[in-house]
Amino acid sequence: MTFMTMRGSNNADGSYDWRGAIIDSGIMAAVTFFSALGGLSAVGIPTWEACVAAAIAGATQFFIALAIKRGLRAPK
């Protein structure tokens, strides 16, 4: 059983739920990747450059979402 906190969820023993946070961040990164790829393709950017730009956007989104879910400051 997990317990939701403001930044994510904790397991019953109080440890942070990394599995859930990584899955959520991966989903958000995939949405960012495919929307960026679609937008870049729509304006005529060549496929290789569009894939690289979309991968960078997706990777950035993954780590930003993971940092937000985990919290950027250490608990007091």
| The pLDDT of residue 21 | 85
What are the domain boundaries of the chain? Answer: 26-70
| The pLDDT of residue 3 | 45
| The pLDDT of residue 47 | 87
- Tell me whether residue 58 is exposed, middle or buried, using C-beta atoms within 10 angstroms of its C-beta: 0 to 12, 13 to 18, 19 or more: buried
Dist. CA 53–CA 43, nearest whole Å = 13
Averages of pLDDT over each 10 residues, the chain, 76 residues: 54 78 92 95 89 96 88 62
